Chains A and B, each alone.
Chain A
Amino acid sequence: MHLVVCAKQIPDPETPPAAFRIDEANNEVIPAQGIPPVLSQFDGMAAEAALRIVEAAGEGKITVISLGQESAQAAIKQVLAMGADEGILLEDEALQGGDSYTTARTLAAAIEHLGDVDAVFCGRQAADWDMGQVGLGIAELLGWPSAIIGKDAKVEDGSMVVERVTGDGFETVSMPMPAVVTISNEIGDPRYPKLQQIMQAARKTVTRLDAGELGLDPSTVGDAGARLKLERLFIPVVEGEVELMEGETAEEQAQALAAALREAKIL
């Protein structure tokens, strides 16, 4: 069994508000000083789901793929340390700066390049832009079935069985393989790697592939191929005003409050 985990490196979602800055002129997030990027936490959970399947089966290979820059190696190594077998970094100037569509297209090409993949695991969404489209996009482009927002997955009689989180509970779906699954935080925290694995992961070489090797026309991927254009990026200004109600007694204060609310046409 060969499973693929898609992993994205993102700016730390826990960047303190004071350190989060954007470049409004270029519609870009300015990387916060001293706060290194991290693995999108849903992708760690996707890796956890894949690892559970391989463990239950007692065999299988997990390949982790990331589309990104050199620094994304760290995200790949993190999944390798958790127990994945191989890492692929899709690093090419032509691949940078795309949207959900080009990302799905690039990842789908990489999965086709691998050939013998039985299932793909993605996080339910990347924790930076929260689009939640890439997993579905990969399934669409490959013509595979998909189940999204899973809290657990297992392989039963050659089918992928996914326990899905729904608005009012859970549902279990089954689909033929190969298939795409996206995983949600309900699965729980991803495992903590053993030191042995961390050191093994550190020694592993990550394979690099570019657009040419993936057989992708540069005009259809990355910035050039993107169909979604970002119009404006800004930090909303939230203003709040506090007015303290005057009054000798609680009753007077309540009356003043009621009057003020009526005046503001809230009551």
Chain B
Amino acid sequence: MSVSERESSPGSPASDGGRPKRVRLVGAWWGPTVGLTGLGLISAIELGRTDASREVFFNVAQPWAVYVMLAALVGLLVYGFGRHATLWAIGQPTPGILREIPMRVRNAVRLGIGQEKVRRDPYAGIMHFCIFSSIIVLTLVTAQVAIEDDTPLSFLNGWYYLFFSFYGDLFGLIGLIGVGMALYRRYFSDFHRIRWDERIEDHAIIVGLGLILVTGFMVESFRIYTTELHGFVLEDGTQLEAHPDWARWSFVSYVIAEFLDIFSPTQGHMLAAHTWSWWGHVVLAFGWLGLLVFTRLDHMIFAPVNAFFLRTDAPGRLATIENIEEQEVFGVGQIQDFTWKQLFELDACVRCGRCTEVCPADVSGQPLSPMHLIQDLKAHLASVGPDLQNAGHTNGDVRSVSPIEMVGDVIKDETLWACRTCGACMQECPVMIEHVPTIVDMRRYLVMNEARVPAAAQGALENIEMRGHPWRGTTLTRESWMEDFDDVPIFDGSQEYLYWVGCSGSLVERNMPITQSVFRLLRESGASFGVLGQEETCNGDPARRLGNEYLYQILAMQLVETFKAKNVQKVITNCPHCFNTFRNEYPQFDGHFEVLHHTEFLQQALEDGDLTPRHSVGTSVTYHDSCYLGRMNGVYDAPRQIIEVLPGVDLTEMRRSQSRGLCCGAGGGNMWQEEIGERRVNHVRTEEAVGTGADEVISNCPFCIQMFEDGAPAIQPDEEGRIRPFDVAELLERSVLGTENGS
């Protein structure tokens, strides 16, 4: 079975199944830029066989002051980042952070410098590219000037000087386009998310950058006017040489300089304007770079570094608490309980709001905004960090330093419980913050350390402890679904696959028919498989996501032993949550199995001809990606490939699909919680499914199906024409076996 589909996920952004075509257009922006630059280069080489050059510090007295400012800036940066670093250092060690360096370097280049995630918002992608490339190129321009001046090297002459003039202006212009786009979005559009937490620094950064670029062009055009266009005679009698043919290479400043003629400025005015704008430009530039220490401008550095620190393993995997019985504190209750990488991440946040924009909780008016959560933690770190450091130095009681509780006061309990662990925030974050593990770490503290659990979630956890499944009050047994068959094989180690039904697949009435469909299809395909029946038990996923790591570890270790004792090699799961747990999390407990979701197996069976879709189904469907099959494991294609080959099935995608899919609302243990907020997530998502006009919403997860079953009557009170939720397997069965489950 194909594992290549796994790539796209919050952690590894590679083959993004969810990338619409317009995002690729952003990539095309490189084309004209590189093309124009290349054209300039060739022209300069061809046409510029001259002695073109210019005086570096033309018309500037005391140029050494620049180096004083540079030294001050470097000092400020060292001091500022040093202070940041001492705050990060109060965090705990980050295991494995220096493992897999080549992949980390790749991430830093692709996600940090290549800005893959930034481009998921095309407007921001183009804007960012303009500003980013402009800053890089213009910094190189300035560096070359410094090298020309301060070293014996001399290269700013002849064709290279002309080319240098050309690309300097080109990227100055590109920068201005980017700044213009930013100004438009911030001040003239109704674009909301960047204003959710707007601060003075945001205006300073963008206006400052605009002024630097504008003053840069002013300096250049005044110089060109004075020298290359008019060849003034200076006070000391120096005759400047006019070279309009050189001036044209600085095509932006040249045009401005030509316009200056309208005002017929005097030589004195021109030289004074040049001096003033020169110093203005330099002071602005250094001042702006100083913002690196105080503002979110630091993302210029922190984003690629955080991309380097990004996890290299599966995004659906939560970290294990090693030696859990020996811990003094369970989970993260205070800021210093985080790893230093988690603290570093707080500084990387740019408040862009992308995470919150896609968060199912926030979309439904529930009390969680990932952006504000990160910002609140960051503010808390800044407020208690220094005292924590002092307490650490004096061996004081660090746990009593903070006057307020981080979990409870700074971050409210209900905020942590509202998270679906769907990973949409991590998928979108342009600076690669990993919100979900941070949230689950705090849940661990709530559950294990403080025993503060919402009643319904507590019921699910207790039920797992007592009865080995989260479905309190079920009247079904794990073998109820088998009663319709007399040939369900029990797994004994001789079969190739273990078909893992899961708690929902056997104990929830709506999910039982899905299990039966999968069973009939497996039987039809001729696969060698068996089930565990009464011996199945919860694999611990809900416990882990709800924060009870202890309970999870007990269940996981037991089940790994059971699997080994039964000689399980390959597992087919009904449920994407079981799938993720077996595939990504059981290796943490030495459980290494080949794990397939039933849609992957069935797709392969179709491809191999083991299943034949004979019957025309005659329905229109939309497909909902479950978070743990889609975003967390990158399986977007297999279920769609099944749907697409079925005769008489018309597939319409929802606006949010694949990696951008919206959670059904049940993830992260929210299947067993009461929702608080304006709306229910499943109602929002059902509305989107209904909006496609499809007869059926097809999914692959028992929770999603239940959420749609609940959402459909709420959104469409009239039973006539109401959308009906089905699993991929149920739809497939209709075509392969001609059954009528739902038609």
* Per-residue A-contact encoding for B300-339, CB less than 8 Å = 1, 0 else: 0000000000000000000000001100001000000000
Q: Which of A54-62, A98-106, A177-185, A188-196 contacts B (4 or more CB under 8 A)?
A: A188-196
Q: Hey, which chain A residues are within 8 Å of B458, CB to CB?
A: 189, 192
With A14-B472, A192-B461, A199-B325 as known contacts, state yes or no: A38 contacts B449, CB within 8 Å. Answer: no
Q: Hey, which chain A residues are within 8 Å of B468, CB to CB?
A: 34
> Min CB distance, A144 to chain B, in Å?
32
Q: Hey, which chain B residues are within 8 Å of A18, CB to CB?
A: 475-477, 480
Chain B, interface residues (CB within 8 Å), range: 20 to 34
Does B83 make an interface contact (CB < 8 A)?
Answer: no
B480:A194 contact, CB within 8 angstroms: no
Does A228 make an interface contact (CB < 8 A)?
Answer: no
Does A169 make an interface contact (CB < 8 A)?
Answer: no
Does A210 make an interface contact (CB < 8 A)?
Answer: no
Q: Hey, which chain B residues are within 8 Å of A192, CB to CB?
A: 447, 451, 453, 458, 461-462
With A14-B473, A36-B466 as known contacts, state yes or no: A194 contacts B325, CB within 8 Å. Answer: no
A195:B476 contact, CB within 8 angstroms: no
Q: Hey, which chain B residues are within 8 Å of A14, CB to CB?
A: 467, 472-474
A195:B477 contact, CB within 8 angstroms: no
Among B447, B467, B535: residue with most chain A CB under 10 A: B467
A191 to B478 alpha-carbon distance, docked (Å): 29
* Per-residue B-contact encoding for A181-224, CB less than 8 Å = 1, 0 else: 00000000101111110110000000000000000000000000
Does A33 make an interface contact (CB < 8 A)?
Answer: yes
- Residues of A13-34 whose CB lies within 8 A of B: 14, 16-19, 33-34
A129 to B194 alpha-carbon distance, docked (Å): 62
> Min CB distance, A26 to chain B, in Å?
24
- Checking A17, A34, A189, A193 against B534 with a beta-carbon cut-off of 8 angstroms, the contacting residue is A34
B480:A189 contact, CB within 8 angstroms: no
A14 to B464 alpha-carbon distance, docked (Å): 13
> Min CB distance, A239 to chain B, in Å?
19
A17:B550 contact, CB within 8 angstroms: no
A14 to B468 alpha-carbon distance, docked (Å): 12
Q: Hey, which chain A residues are within 8 Å of B534, CB to CB?
A: 33-34
- Checking A12, A35, A38, A195 against B550 with a beta-carbon cut-off of 8 angstroms, the contacting residue is A195
Q: Hey, which chain B residues are within 8 Å of A17, CB to CB?
A: 475
Does B613 make an interface contact (CB < 8 A)?
Answer: no
Q: Hey, which chain A residues are within 8 Å of B477, CB to CB?
A: 16, 18-19
Among B448, B450, B468, B550: residue with most chain A CB under 10 A: B448
> Min CB distance, A11 to chain B, in Å?
12
Q: B448 — nearest CB in chain A belongs to which residue?
A: A195
A189 to B458 alpha-carbon distance, docked (Å): 9
Q: Hey, which chain B residues are within 8 Å of A193, CB to CB?
A: 451
Q: A195 — nearest CB in chain B belongs to which residue?
A: B448
B466:A12 contact, CB within 8 angstroms: yes
Q: Hey, which chain A residues are within 8 Å of B474, CB to CB?
A: 14, 16
Does B455 make an interface contact (CB < 8 A)?
Answer: yes
Does B280 make an interface contact (CB < 8 A)?
Answer: no
> Min CB distance, B347 to chain A, in Å?
31
> Min CB distance, B342 to chain A, in Å?
21
Number of residue pairs spanning A and B whose beta carbons lie under 8 angstroms apart: 52
A14 to B461 alpha-carbon distance, docked (Å): 15
> Min CB distance, A37 to chain B, in Å?
9
Q: Hey, which chain B residues are within 8 Å of A19, CB to CB?
A: 477
Does B114 make an interface contact (CB < 8 A)?
Answer: no
Does B408 make an interface contact (CB < 8 A)?
Answer: no
Does B713 make an interface contact (CB < 8 A)?
Answer: no
Among B447, B466, B534, B550: residue with most chain A CB under 10 A: B466
B449:A195 contact, CB within 8 angstroms: yes
Among A14, A19, A36, A195: residue with most chain B CB under 10 A: A195
Q: Hey, which chain A residues are within 8 Å of B459, CB to CB?
A: 189
Q: Hey, which chain B residues are within 8 Å of A199, CB to CB?
A: 325
> Min CB distance, B551 to chain A, in Å?
9
With A18-B480, A33-B534 as known contacts, state yes or no: A189 contacts B448, CB within 8 Å. Answer: no
Q: Hey, which chain B residues are within 8 Å of A195, CB to CB?
A: 324, 330, 447-449, 550
> Min CB distance, A213 to chain B, in Å?
31
A21 to B245 alpha-carbon distance, docked (Å): 101
Among A12, A19, A34: residue with most chain B CB under 10 A: A34
Q: Hey, which chain B residues are within 8 Å of A191, CB to CB?
A: 451
Q: B479 — nearest CB in chain A belongs to which residue?
A: A18
> Min CB distance, A196 to chain B, in Å?
7
> Min CB distance, B111 to chain A, in Å?
37
Q: A191 — nearest CB in chain B belongs to which residue?
A: B451
> Min CB distance, B566 to chain A, in Å?
16
With A35-B467, A38-B466, A189-B455 as known contacts, state yes or no: A194 contacts B473, CB within 8 Å. Answer: no
Q: B476 — nearest CB in chain A belongs to which residue?
A: A16
Q: Hey, which chain B residues are within 8 Å of A34, CB to CB?
A: 468, 478, 534-535
Q: Hey, which chain B residues are within 8 Å of A38, CB to CB?
A: 466-467
> Min CB distance, A118 to chain B, in Å?
26
- Residues of B426-482 whose CB lies within 8 A of A: 447-451, 453, 455, 458-459, 461-462, 466-468, 472-478, 480
A248 to B535 alpha-carbon distance, docked (Å): 52
B449:A196 contact, CB within 8 angstroms: yes
A12:B451 contact, CB within 8 angstroms: no
- Residues of B473-516 whose CB lies within 8 A of A: 473-478, 480
Q: B533 — nearest CB in chain A belongs to which residue?
A: A34
Q: B472 — nearest CB in chain A belongs to which residue?
A: A14
Q: Hey, which chain A residues are within 8 Å of B475, CB to CB?
A: 16-18
Q: A33 — nearest CB in chain B belongs to which residue?
A: B534
Q: B325 — nearest CB in chain A belongs to which residue?
A: A199
A228 to B467 alpha-carbon distance, docked (Å): 32
> Min CB distance, B461 to chain A, in Å?
7
B467:A12 contact, CB within 8 angstroms: yes
A192 to B454 alpha-carbon distance, docked (Å): 10
Q: Hey, which chain B residues are within 8 Å of A198, CB to CB?
A: 550
B451:A194 contact, CB within 8 angstroms: yes
Q: Hey, which chain A residues are within 8 Å of B472, CB to CB?
A: 14
A36 to B325 alpha-carbon distance, docked (Å): 25
B467:A194 contact, CB within 8 angstroms: no
A35 to B534 alpha-carbon distance, docked (Å): 10
A6 to B244 alpha-carbon distance, docked (Å): 101
A16 to B476 alpha-carbon distance, docked (Å): 6
A152 to B474 alpha-carbon distance, docked (Å): 30
A194:B466 contact, CB within 8 angstroms: no
> Min CB distance, B531 to chain A, in Å?
14
A264 to B330 alpha-carbon distance, docked (Å): 66
* Per-residue B-contact encoding for A38-57, CB less than 8 Å = 1, 0 else: 10000000000000000000
A189 to B534 alpha-carbon distance, docked (Å): 29
A194 to B451 alpha-carbon distance, docked (Å): 5
Q: Hey, which chain B residues are within 8 Å of A196, CB to CB?
A: 330, 449
> Min CB distance, A7 to chain B, in Å?
14
> Min CB distance, A231 to chain B, in Å?
28
A35 to B458 alpha-carbon distance, docked (Å): 20
Q: A17 — nearest CB in chain B belongs to which residue?
A: B475
A17 to B474 alpha-carbon distance, docked (Å): 10
A189 to B467 alpha-carbon distance, docked (Å): 17
> Min CB distance, B52 to chain A, in Å?
75
> Min CB distance, B472 to chain A, in Å?
7
B455:A194 contact, CB within 8 angstroms: no
A33 to B533 alpha-carbon distance, docked (Å): 12
* Per-residue B-contact encoding for A80-112, CB less than 8 Å = 1, 0 else: 000000000000000000000000000000000
A196 to B327 alpha-carbon distance, docked (Å): 9
Q: Hey, which chain A residues are within 8 Å of B473, CB to CB?
A: 14
> 12 A-B pairs, CB-CB below 8 angstroms?
A12-B467, A16-B475, A16-B480, A18-B477, A18-B480, A34-B534, A36-B466, A38-B467, A189-B458, A194-B449, A196-B449, A198-B550
Closest 6 CB pairs of A and B: A195-B448, A194-B451, A34-B534, A192-B451, A192-B458, A16-B477
Given A195-B449, A199-B325, 10 extra CB contacts under 8 A: A14-B473, A16-B474, A16-B475, A16-B477, A16-B480, A18-B475, A34-B534, A38-B466, A195-B324, A195-B330
Residues of chain B having any CB pair with chain A under 8 Å: 324-325, 330, 447-451, 453, 455, 458-459, 461-462, 466-468, 472-478, 480, 534-535, 550
